[in-house]
Structure 1
Amino acid sequence: MPQTRQDVRTRRVFYIPGYDPIHPRRYRELYRKEGADQAAISDYALSLSPKTSKGHYGWQVTAQMDGVEVETEVEVLVWSDIVRSSMSNTIPATYLQLIRTAWIYIGSGTLRRLMRLRKGPVIAALYPVGMLLVQALIALGLGWAMFGLVTALLAPLLGSVATVLGLVGWIGVAVAVLRWFKQKDGKIFAYYLMHDYAYSARWNGANPPELEARMAEFTEIIADALRSPVDEVLVIGHSSGAHLAVSILADLIRQGRAPANGPALSFLSLGQVVPMLSFLPKADRLRADLHDLAARKELTWVDVTAPGDGCAFALCDPVAVSGVAPEGKLWPLVFSAQFTKSLSPERWKTLRWKFFRLHFQYLCAFDQPLDYDYFRITAGPVTLGARYAGRPPSASRIDVAVSKYTSRAA
């Protein structure tokens, strides 16, 4: 078997999930299953074993690719507890979130600006609003039907008391229907997505204190890894985890904690939704971090999205569209995972309308892989920078300033 370039023999990977309340074992099982599929397709070997070091949830990966072996430790930087605590347990509170979130995005002009980018994620943002309103209308309609039935049957016998009983029936049916819809949200995702967008909008783009504290912990963990004897430290931010990673890495580099003689520092943002936050009035912190990170030579930043992912701002340069591109901008390198080409027609047909599943395709196997392979990036023998050195950005990327708000934290 021919030998390949080997920059990496050992690697630390830190995966930052999006707004996800589920236990991180989900990501281990996804990596195990999809990694095995990709290894069979691409003719390399990939095996997982339990993580032996202290820290957050993770696993070890041993890979044999193109005649060389690489050891990788993957760690999930968990903030699912914060996500769970932010999810309201009451139906009325969710509808209040709906009103407040819609007012913030519409009243600030942010929604109109976002629509100049990609329609998909804007539709995804409007989906929970529309779906929750439809659920409310169905509940009220069925409740009204119950009111009519009760009053029609009992009014001749009970008079005005029938009206009271009808109102009780109306309320009871409406509440029961709304509760039923909430119980089925594992398939509908209306409550889940509403909580997601509400969490970003609640502070108008600023980070809540508990999230800032967790991000500071993550900064310490990554800084410690950069002092370890590995060849690459790779940070992956998926979905809303991408903007957390931006701020974490910007803090780390500003603090001078990316040693010049240390491991290669790499950042891979996947399916990012940065504009949903960076376009908000008080996202000064994130806009400053985007501005700073885009010109730093201490790292390589690659941003991968795909137009087939309706939940991401596909091929939107998160720095440029936020209006904070610095002089001498280096990052990110923006290109597409090309779902329609890297998935066979049969596979694409199966997945095309599974929007939530497609938002996770970046972490999965491709049956016709091109130059994006999540498992070669995370477990292969080449650094992210070397892998994509000289690769041009996608010609169809959007890299013009669109955000109304461009202020940055001092």
Structure 2
Amino acid sequence: MAEISDNRVARRRVFYIPGYDPIHPRRYRELYRKEAAAQAGISGYDIALKPRKGENYGWQVDARVDGKVVRADVEVLVWSDIVRDSMSNSIPATYLQLLRTAWIYIASGALWRLMKLRKGPVIAALYPVGMLLAQLVLSILLGAGVGHLVLWLGSQLAVQLPVVLAGGAAALAGVATAIAVLRWFRKKDGKFFAYYLMHDYAYSAATRGANPPALEARMAEFGAVIAAALEEDVDEVLVVGHSSGAHLGVSVLADLIRAGRAPGEGAVLSFLSLGQVVPMVSFLPQAHRLRADLAYLSCRDELTWIDVTAPGDGCAFALCDPVAVSGVAPAGKKWPLVFSAAFTQSLSPARWKELRWRFFRLHFQYLCAFDRPKDYDYFQITAGPLTLGARYAGRPPSKSRIDRAVSKYTSQAA
């Protein structure tokens, strides 16, 4: 790992890789603005945002932490257009995705292996399947009910309708009702998240863990941007991968280091993975590339890699060492350092009670303020005066982490 004088940071470049998210990246700026102000008020430091110049989407952060002035340029590495293109607007196509995705995870044995880790993310993965099937059953039942009602009304008419005509009208009314119910659920998916999550899991499953060509091309662009930042006059280049963005970050950084584009002098290279769901991909049979990148990155001296999750986040594989559980931990493995954000301790009882059942909100808590912060503070990591390695030097991993090999598939790309 490269070092700088006393591990102090005055200038930092931060690259944030979102998860599978079709929303415009401005949401991350507004989230950072709101939550940084809240954390600064709680923890007693100053932080402010302003627009960042440049072609790509981001913002500039000016902070004073522990009397040290730091400037950070934050950039979102956007792949939301790829996400949107992968999300079918067709209801039948989504149900076809459901069948295909379920078959891939079950037939490959990945589902059973994942269940040996954490139940929360597996339940989250099964949720869209159950919800979509429940919506289909409800639409059929309501359609059948309307059809029977039409038949009964027809039988009550003074002039009896021919059986064929009455049956046709009932069938048409029933089908129309079922379709209307399914369309209503689709329209309200912002509350149910069934279609969104189904598209998410189907995206990786469609290629059985391999990266689609469009994503590979975008990842190469990410690597070029990060490599250019490493040549700038900055003290640290910090890559943050959240949710699905964590495994993208692993591959991007592995490629960058393999290509010799992470010099040992100059800026320190740091990687922070948050709320990772790596096993959902690395346990699939064709995830050769990801497994190779996990193994490679885990023993490199060119970077510091910290992995933060929390058992309170039911959408992440909390405290699962992504390298070890994927069965590819090499001799000499040193990364990642795995520890918990400890939601139940770093949030007050009142705040935890408010958020406890808001599962998707909790999956973003890593990017938010804590009213009883411990040693994890996203805003000090991204805008504070210490490098990621210096901040967590000597920090032991969480004792309850899972670091045994679980994946059935361990083959790696050549």
Alignment TM-score > 0.5, same fold: yes
2:39 and 2:154 map into 1 onto residues whose CA distance is 66
Q: RMSD of the TM alignment (CA)?
A: 0.7
The alpha-carbon deviation at position 157 of structure 1 amounts to: 2.5
Q: Which residue is equivalent to 1:35?
A: 36
1:236 and 1:395 map into 2 onto residues whose CA distance is 24
Matched, 1:239 2:243: yes
2:307 and 2:79 map into 1 onto residues whose CA distance is 22
The alpha-carbon deviation at position 248 of structure 1 amounts to: 0.1
Q: Which residue is equivalent to 1:97?
A: 97
| 1:92 alignment partner, SS class | helix
Q: Which residue is equivalent to 1:372?
A: 376
1:55 and 1:113 map into 2 onto residues whose CA distance is 43
Identity %: 73
1:165 and 1:362 map into 2 onto residues whose CA distance is 54
Kept after mapping to 2: 8 A contact 1:240/1:274: yes
User: TM-score of the superposition, structure 2-length normalised?
Assistant: 0.97
Matched, 1:50 2:51: yes
| 1:213 alignment partner, SS class | helix
| 2:151 alignment partner, SS class | helix
Q: Which residue is equivalent to 1:407?
A: 411
Q: Which residue is equivalent to 1:327?
A: 331
Match among 298, 303, 309 for residue 305 of structure 1: 309
User: TM-score of the superposition, structure 1-length normalised?
Assistant: 0.98
1:167 and 1:75 map into 2 onto residues whose CA distance is 54
Q: Which residue is equivalent to 1:296?
A: 300
* Letter of the structure 2 residue corresponding to residue 266 of structure 1: S
Instruction: Render the CA deviation track for 1:311-361: whole Å, top value 9, x for unaligned.
Output: 000000000000000100010000000000000000000000000000000
Q: Which residue is equivalent to 1:19?
A: 20
Kept after mapping to 1: 8 A contact 2:46/2:63: yes
Matched, 1:253 2:257: yes
Instruction: Render the CA deviation track for 1:55-100: whole Å, top value 9, x for unaligned.
Output: 3200000000111100000000000000000000100000000000
Matched, 1:76 2:47: no
* Letter of the structure 2 residue corresponding to residue 12 of structure 1: R
* Letter of the structure 2 residue corresponding to residue 183 of structure 1: K
Q: Which residue is equivalent to 1:144?
A: 144
Q: Which residue is equivalent to 1:360?
A: 364
Structure 2 runs not aligned, ≥5 long: 1-5
Q: Which residue is equivalent to 2:231?
A: 227
1:204 and 1:249 map into 2 onto residues whose CA distance is 22
The alpha-carbon deviation at position 159 of structure 1 amounts to: 2.1
Correspondences of 1:173-184 after superposition (within 5 Å): 173-184=177-188
Q: Which residue is equivalent to 2:67?
A: 67
Match among 258, 266, 270 for residue 266 of structure 1: 270
1:43 and 1:189 map into 2 onto residues whose CA distance is 37
Matched, 1:165 2:166: no
| 1:157 alignment partner, SS class | coil
Kept after mapping to 2: 8 A contact 1:47/1:61: yes
| 1:73 alignment partner, SS class | strand
2:96 and 2:289 map into 1 onto residues whose CA distance is 27
* Letter of the structure 2 residue corresponding to residue 96 of structure 1: L
The alpha-carbon deviation at position 151 of structure 1 amounts to: 1.3
* Letter of the structure 1 residue corresponding to residue 22 of structure 2: P
The alpha-carbon deviation at position 31 of structure 1 amounts to: 0.2
Q: Which residue is equivalent to 2:217?
A: 213
Kept after mapping to 2: 8 A contact 1:270/1:305: yes
Kept after mapping to 1: 8 A contact 2:128/2:193: yes
Kept after mapping to 1: 8 A contact 2:311/2:318: yes
The alpha-carbon deviation at position 160 of structure 1 amounts to: 1.9
Kept after mapping to 1: 8 A contact 2:235/2:268: yes
Instruction: Render the CA deviation track for 1:208-230: whole Å, top value 9, x for unaligned.
Output: 00000000000000000001010
Match among 341, 352, 374 for residue 348 of structure 1: 352
* Letter of the structure 1 residue corresponding to residue 73 of structure 2: E
1:212 and 1:157 map into 2 onto residues whose CA distance is 62
Matched, 1:397 2:401: yes
The alpha-carbon deviation at position 152 of structure 1 amounts to: 1.6
Q: Which residue is equivalent to 1:88?
A: 88
Correspondences of 1:188-207 after superposition (within 5 Å): 188-207=192-211
1:335 and 1:94 map into 2 onto residues whose CA distance is 36
* Letter of the structure 2 residue corresponding to residue 217 of structure 1: E
Structure 1 runs not aligned, ≥5 long: none
Deviates more, 1:12-21 or 1:154-163: 154-163
1:381 and 1:263 map into 2 onto residues whose CA distance is 14
Kept after mapping to 2: 8 A contact 1:15/1:74: yes
Matched, 1:7 2:8: yes
1:159 and 1:389 map into 2 onto residues whose CA distance is 80
1:369 and 1:277 map into 2 onto residues whose CA distance is 31
Q: Which residue is equivalent to 1:114?
A: 114
* Letter of the structure 1 residue corresponding to residue 86 of structure 2: S
The alpha-carbon deviation at position 262 of structure 1 amounts to: 2.0
1:259 and 1:33 map into 2 onto residues whose CA distance is 35
2:132 and 2:7 map into 1 onto residues whose CA distance is 52
The count of corresponding residues between Structure 1 and Structure 2 is: 405
The alpha-carbon deviation at position 153 of structure 1 amounts to: 1.7
| 2:161 alignment partner, SS class | helix
Kept after mapping to 1: 8 A contact 2:98/2:198: yes
2:266 and 2:166 map into 1 onto residues whose CA distance is 78
* Letter of the structure 2 residue corresponding to residue 100 of structure 1: R
Kept after mapping to 2: 8 A contact 1:6/1:68: no
1:275 and 1:189 map into 2 onto residues whose CA distance is 21
The alpha-carbon deviation at position 194 of structure 1 amounts to: 0.2
